[in-house]
Chains A and B, each alone.
Chain A
Amino acid sequence: MSQETALQLKGVTKYFGETAANDHVDLELKKGEILAVLGENGSGKTTLMNMISGIYFPDKGHIYVNGKEVSIGSPHDAFDLGIGMVHQHFKLINVMSALENIVLGMDPPEGGFSLQKARKSVMSLAHDYGFELDPNKKVYNMSVSEKQTVEIIKVLYRGADILILDEPTAVLTPQESDKLFNVLRSMKDHGHSIIIITHKLNEVLEISDRVTVLRKGKNAGTAATRDMTVDLLTEMMVGEKVDLDIWRTDPAEPRKRLKLKDLTVLNGEGLPALKDVSFEANSGEILGIAGISGSGQKELLETIAGLVSPESGAISFFSKDGDKEVDRKDVTLSFVPEDRLGMGLVASMNVPDNVMLRSYRDGKSRFVERKGPLETAKAIIKSLAVVIPDLSIRISSLSGGNVQKVLLGREISLSPDILLVAYPARGLDINSSFTIYNELNAQKQKGVCVICVIEDLDVLMQLTDRIVVLSGGKVSGIRDARTGTKEEIGLLMTSSEKKKAEGKDGK
């Protein structure tokens, strides 16, 4: 190979307690290439990258930057070596402006620090790479993709040659992802070396030059991307052949179960999060909710669940055969919220106690009835293949996939009529994701009305029956998932914003 090496890891190992998150991992990043690091959740991708960016310190192993061995003890060290990381959960200060976040923590330049000078150089940097940036905008007013832009500029402004992006597209629409990839290509042309962490296979094929696959904390192989296919990558990642098609059955005798009429809901700041939302949901079908993150999905589910009261509009529930309206209390409703450990489960309690949160009203004794929840917990663990060393450990020490299985299992154990699920497979590995999808399908077969917010359009198109698209808190379209196209949904997701922009230009 004629290309020089920008970054090399040899035998890097990191333990968390007894378990090795990374076990003797070797990795090589060449100058001016985009390397994809692929792996399931819990395969140690983020841990490995955190060691390169100075968040964690490796227990064993060597790191070389431009051929020289280095020790990276803090993020500051990493910056000095020209390494910058864009974390999956953005590391931005909410109450500060874009510019303040970008200059944060930097050594003062020669001739002293001035926010005016910094503004100039930040803006010219943004211009060079084709970013749109409002330097005075506060982070709390920003959309996810704007925050990501600030993170990337922050890293570039520190003069990073080696960029690490941890799941950058997880929160973006297809259009925003395309834009990001163009920026990455332009950075590559500027001579930067880039590592992109992802578990989306099509992205690996689209953007990377080479791909390194991690499996269970070990390097499972590196290959040139042009030699790879989706099937080959999956096999490397999971270690066995996996069927990638989601099982979808036809709707089971759909009957009207839930009706929203002109629902308007305000968010915490008193601004409308939902505007005149109307749709119906049927029993025996999976209704998907699509939209850019923050388009009102959270408020929609919370309003249906009764956690938020609407400003105006009505929610009506219908009986099993769909012909007469019934009271809310005659309908069993289950909710799997987005924030699993914050809202769904109590992180510091074990599985049976968490199950009990939904059944504490059962039983007649003055004392807590533990037997029932214990049985339910065991049943959940068995039916959803939850990996758990013993029942007494706290939920927070389970992996993300197992947490989600417990939460979904508990909600399903109530035999709901309506099941609300937010991001059912966010952050889950392939096997866990499919367990969840299958369970949702099984519920649909039982005649449950399933409403599901999903960010991954591929999954949404394959799993659901109908799709309600939200854009800026309004329903911008309802499509049949079997006949609609991904592009069509993607456009609906941004539709009203476009209209707004056009309206402005017209004036």
Chain B
Amino acid sequence: MTMLITFITKAIGQGIAILFGATGEIITEKSGNLNLGIPGIMYMGGISGLMGAFFYEHSTDNPSPVAGMIISLICALLVSALGGLLYSFLTVSLRANQNVVGLAITTFGVGFGNFFGGSVSKIAGGVGQISVATSASAYQAKLPFLSDIPVVGKLLFGYGFLTYASLVISVLVWYVLFKTRRGLNLRAAGEDPAAADAAGINVTAYKYTATIAGCAIAGLGGLYYVMEYLGGTWSNDSFGDRGWLAVALVILALWNPLNAIWGSLAFGALYILYIYLPGLTRATQELVKVIPYVVTIVVLVFTSFRNRPEDQPPASLGLSYFREDR
């Protein structure tokens, strides 16, 4: 029983970072931008939040957790949004190939994370020596009383505020995309920018806004991982391929943020399943780790069978748009 509860809470812990990334990627892809830079952006969000907190904590003798939290939050949002701005500028304004730009940003973002992670480690005194425990404590703060309820408290209330934020943001993104006028316009821009343009929609503005907002959301995933999951430390490459899982989750969720919530939980569970399955060898462990990717492929196969137009990717995903193209 306790084992099961631990498994579920750990699965949620794994899933939240992926959920942030997937939600950000969904709103981006709905505008027609296939941002493969999301994994890099998440690294950038994580390291910049960490650096903000680190330099703040080192600049005062008596750092306050709340101030550290706010500073790191702003740093993470700002840097990942800048990544989105860069992506939008290259693909929307300069009409560069989206795949190439996205992969470049991922390569860049991972390097950015590792470079600054390494530099800050050096300042802190060596590998694994970074600690922003004060700020992280604000991220890890749990709801008083409620989290003390046995079982239910641990399952539902035993998380920091970013966990709940990720759910709220997913529902919010769903609401904006499918229930509002702006969401309608945004989806139109992703389906057929020429038609959207002819209907009077400012396609460029929508693509920029969606991509930048999407990157900011994804960046929170990196911040969550560093602050709440790791508790305010850094080790190079430890974020791993969670960013790619987020991109895969978008397909699994059929571009619907509500599906992404369930999907992220499933991915999180599958991601750590190997730790909880008894009797696995090194080799079979690796096989179990493959499951999330297999699930994505299976889902892809099934959705292509079903062929419902609403479940398809946005029709103009990955294509750049220029009004005067002939």
Contacts and interface: CB of A to CB of B under 8 A. Distances in A.
Interface of A: 16, 53, 55-57, 74-76, 79, 85, 87, 90-96, 100-101, 103-106, 108, 113, 138, 140, 154, 158, 268-269
A91 B198 contact: yes
Interface of B: 181, 184-185, 187-188, 191-192, 194-202, 307, 309-310, 312, 315, 323-324, 326
Contacts of B315: 94-95
A95 B184 contact: no
B324 A91 contact: no
Contacts of B312: 95
B181 A103 contact: yes
Contact of A105 (B185, B194, B326): B185
A244 B290 CA distance: 69
B254 to A, nearest CB: 12
A55 B326 CA distance: 11
B196 A93 contact: yes
Contact of A96 (B188, B201, B326): B188
Contacts of B191: 93-96
Contact of B194 (A53, A91, A113, A154): A91
Contacts of A91: 192, 194-195, 198-199
Nearest to A138: B309
A386 B219 CA distance: 56
Nearest to A78: B200
Which of A95, A100, A106: most chain B Cβ within 10 A?
Answer: A95
Which of B198, B200, B315: most chain A Cβ within 10 A?
Answer: B198
B323 to A, nearest CB: 6
Nearest to A102: B199
Given A75-B200, A96-B188, A105-B188, A269 B181 contact: no
B192 A105 contact: no
A383 B198 CA distance: 41
Contacts of B309: 94-95, 138, 140
Contact of A55 (B184, B187, B323): B323
Interface of B is mostly: helix
A75 B199 contact: yes
B29 to A, nearest CB: 14
Given A55-B198, A95-B309, A104 B192 contact: no
Given A55-B323, A95-B309, A154 B184 contact: no
B326 A104 contact: no
Contact of A74 (B195, B200, B310): B200
Contacts of A56: 323-324
Interface of A is mostly: loop
A85 B198 contact: yes
Nearest to B190: A93
A76 B200 contact: yes
B181 A75 contact: no
Which of A85, A90, A91, A268: most chain B Cβ within 10 A?
Answer: A91
Contacts of A113: 181
Nearest to A100: B184
Contacts of B196: 93, 104-105
A21 to B, nearest CB: 9
Contact of A104 (B201, B323, B324): B201
Nearest to A57: B324
A227 B278 CA distance: 92
Contacts of B181: 103, 108, 113
A141 to B, nearest CB: 9
A49 to B, nearest CB: 12
Given A103-B181, A104-B201, A269-B307, A92 B195 contact: yes
B188 A76 contact: no
List the 6 closest A-B pairs by CB distance, nearest first: A91-B195, A105-B199, A76-B200, A105-B201, A91-B198, A105-B200
B324 A55 contact: yes
Contact of B198 (A16, A75, A103, A106): A75
Contacts of A53: 198
Contacts of B202: 74, 76
Nearest to B194: A91
Contact of A87 (B198, B310, B323, B326): B198
Given A94-B191, A100-B184, A105-B188, A154 B199 contact: yes
A85 B195 CA distance: 12
A158 B201 CA distance: 13
Given A138-B309, A140-B309, A106 B200 contact: yes
Contact of B310 (A95, A100, A106, A154): A95
Contacts of B187: 93, 96
A284 to B, nearest CB: 41
Contacts of B188: 93, 96, 104-105
Given A93-B187, A105-B188, 8 more contacts: A76-B201, A93-B195, A94-B192, A104-B185, A105-B196, A105-B200, A108-B181, A154-B199
Nearest to A56: B324
5 contacts: A16-B326, A93-B187, A93-B196, A94-B192, A94-B309
Contacts of A90: 195
A57 B194 CA distance: 15
A94 to B, nearest CB: 7
Contacts of A105: 185, 188, 196, 199-201
B80 to A, nearest CB: 29
A56 B310 CA distance: 31
Contacts of A106: 199-200
B97 to A, nearest CB: 16
A490 to B, nearest CB: 31
A358 B191 CA distance: 35
B175 to A, nearest CB: 14
B177 to A, nearest CB: 13
A75 B194 CA distance: 10
A101 B195 CA distance: 9
A54 to B, nearest CB: 8
